[in-house]
């Protein structure tokens, strides 16, 4: 996936969000750190362009909620409860991440969100779905399905922090 393809995927996801939600009312977008946040911001920018409405964007660090990260010692500084500038009560949340793999990150994200509020609905937008789910989780908006082998890795780059916009399949060692 190159810059153009990535741009198109985000554009299409944005339109699909509008289609599915019949507009942008009560919408909030939450990006999962790190790259999901930038993707969330880009979707919000697009919505702003189209509808002239600022859709709130939040950043979510889910490390504390992951079931595969164990508290090794008390010193490790896991972030606490997430905090948003806006309320989640009754909102339609679009959760955004770059890659959907086992589903554990998303489960953690949903836990985190539920921890602080009770949104009306949560939808999931994903740039790349690479398969190999370990939990019954499914994305509502998918940029691209890229079937992968277990030993492969998907590398997503975003121009905000990386050199370029791209999605690459990297062979694991």
Interface with another protein (CB under 8 A): 4-5, 7-9, 11-12, 14-16, 18-19, 22-23, 45-46, 49-51, 142, 144-145
**CB-nearer residue toward another protein: 50 or 135:** 50
Query: C-alpha 157: how far from its chain's center?
Result: 14
Least CB distance from residue 3 to another protein, whole Å?
A: 9
Using the 8-state DSSP alphabet, how is residue 171 labeled? E
**CB-nearer residue toward another protein: 61 or 166:** 166
1 with 156: CB under 8 angstroms? no
**CB-nearer residue toward another protein: 32 or 142:** 142
**CB-nearer residue toward another protein: 52 or 171:** 52
Residue 106: burial class (beta carbons within 10 Å; 0-12, 13-18, 19+): buried
Q: SS3 for 121?
A: strand
Least CB distance from residue 68 to another protein, whole Å?
A: 28
Please work out, in degrees rounded to the nearest 5, the angle formed at the alpha carbon of residue 114 by the alpha carbons of 116 and 82.
Answer: 45
Least CB distance from residue 135 to another protein, whole Å?
A: 19
């Amino acid at each position: 996936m190159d810059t153009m393809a990535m741009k198109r995927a985000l554009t299409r996801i944005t339109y699909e969000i509008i289609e599915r939600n019949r507009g942008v009312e009560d919408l909030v977008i939450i990006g999962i750190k790190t790259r999901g946040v930038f993707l969330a911001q880009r979707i919000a920018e697009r919505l702003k362009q189209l509808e002239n409405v600022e859709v709130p964007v939040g950043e979510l660090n889910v490390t504390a909620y992951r079931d595969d990260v164990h508290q090794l010692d008390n010193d490790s500084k896991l972030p606490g409860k997430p905090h948003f500038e806006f309320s989640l009560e009754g909102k339609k949340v679009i959760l955004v991440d770059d890659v959907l793999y086992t589903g554990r990150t998303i489960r953690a994200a949903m836990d985190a969100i539920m921890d602080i509020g009770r949104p009306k609905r949560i939808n999931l937008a994903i740039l790349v779905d690479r398969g190999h789910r370990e939990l019954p989780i499914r994305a509502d908006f998918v940029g691209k399905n890229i079937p992968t082998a277990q030993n492969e890795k998907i590398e997503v780059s975003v121009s905000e922090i990386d050199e370029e916009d791209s999605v690459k399949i990297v062979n694991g060692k």
